[in-house]
Amino acid sequence: MAISLADPGDLIAFVVPFLLAIAFHEAAHAYVADRLGDPTARLAGRLTLNPLAHIDPLGALVFLLIRIGWAKPVPVNPMNFKNPVADEVKVALAGPASNILFAILAAFLFNTAGRALGGFAAQLTLAGVYVNLLLAFFNLLPLPPLDGSKLLRPFLGAELYYRLQTMGSFILVFFLLIVSTVFPQFFNIVFVPVRMLFTLFTGQGLTL
């Protein structure tokens, strides 16, 4: 599969799955948090599949530029949980898990319809697989405000942990700028599980 954001058709093939993926990702966070006793996200209107409720303008712009992006973090108050540390981790993992499930669904649509129809249908479903796998594994990086940073909560003091979370977007952008200029091979590391699962799910190679 070859996709270029210079092609308007390819751009649409990326944007549509990206909007759906972030909606499911953030709604999954909100749903699990609500089920575990924290209504903060639901009361803030984030328990919805409307992408407009979840878009982070900076994260969307970065996605269009380098195909890695993020959504607006769902507000969570761990004090509402019975087990604050463990439940916050469960909420964090719900997002990437939803993207894996969405990737499997997109692969099913490709294998049952997209492959036969070809053209934009194949392009759209393949992009859905790719975008969701990328969001899942990128969000597992241990960097605030990404979901992987929540996995560090048991090992960091509460004060340091929450201070880092408040500076999350700045830390992430700075990290991406440094990596893209000094260690661009880093992105290949993130893409390894994405490429492996993409080929497993679709039987297609992945070329960007």
Residues 48-73 pLDDT 10s = 999 999 998 887 887 777 667 778 88
**What single-letter amino acid sits at 67?**
R
Q: Is 26 a catalytic residue?
A: yes
Q: What is the pLDDT of residues 171-208, one digit of tens each?
A: 777 777 777 677 777 777 778 899 899 999 999 987 76
d(CA 137, CA 198): 12
Read off the pLDDT of each residue in 17-36 and give the average, rounded to a whole number: 96
Please list, residue by residue across 115-147, b when 16 or more beta carbons sit within 10 angstroms of its beta carbon and e when fewer do.
beeeeebbbbbbbbbbbbbbbbbbbbbebbbbb
24, 25, 26, 125: which is the annotated catalytic residue? 26
